[in-house]
Structure 1
Amino acid sequence: MSSPDNALLETLSLAELRELVGTLLTKVAELGSANAALKTENQALRDEVARLKGLPPRPPSRPSGMEKATGGSAGPGKSGKRSRRRRGAKRDRDAVTAEVVVKAAPPPGSRFKGYQDMRVPASPSARSPAAP
């Protein structure tokens, strides 16, 4: 693709081209700093909108960890993190150790609708059922 200014660029001297490149570099630096300022302003506005909507705040940004992988300031040894152990299911602790059948006299006029299993937390007296 050729632009109409190509012919103009070929007629410029080396000093003029250097000056043009210098102005372009300063313009790119200005646009980069303006872009960074706009990004921070945009994020501040997003945070304000989230606060007004009652949404939870953003978590703090953490370093990516690439410094550690490339041999940054952290030396060999402990990385400072605690190991996260997975916890087992809490319901498994309440294992059924005894099955107790409770006899009850139904009230007159009632009808049988089936059995229903219930889970009752073990009390100290229920741990060792008395022999009949």
Structure 2
Amino acid sequence: MLKATKNLLVLKKICLGAALSWTGIILYLCLIKASNLPSVDIVYLDKFVHAFFHFVFSLLWFLVLRFYYKNQSSTKLLGIVFFISLSFGITIELFQAFFTVSRNGDVIDVLSNTTGALLAILVLTFLNKNNFLNKIPK
């Protein structure tokens, strides 16, 4: 029993570390000078990147919230995660608009972020309805 508890605590810390690291990576990549990023000539690639960022962001933060709020329903946690992702995406776009010189805030980026978060919510909802989330320890 003690070993299982220790393993659970380690997993909890790994999830939190991964979520915080991913959040930091998103922040860094979205706020650095645009010319420091590699340029690729694929139409709308940046929109897919935004969606991917928030897809992973939502998955990781859902796992973290699940560890810290064991008694909350998955539906409530999914709502919280969606709100956090949406707020984080809007905040980054506002930072780009008002606090950087080489970046611009973009409403379409917010829509891409929202799409990524919604896709994560859909995947997590599917997993929850098929009892896959119950196999992940809380």
Judge same fold: TM > 0.5, yes or no. Answer: no
- TM-score relative to the length of structure 1: 0.26
Structure 1 or 2, whichever has the larger Rg, is: 1
1 or 2 for the larger relative contact order (CA 8 Å, sep ≥6)?
2
- TM-score relative to the length of structure 2: 0.25
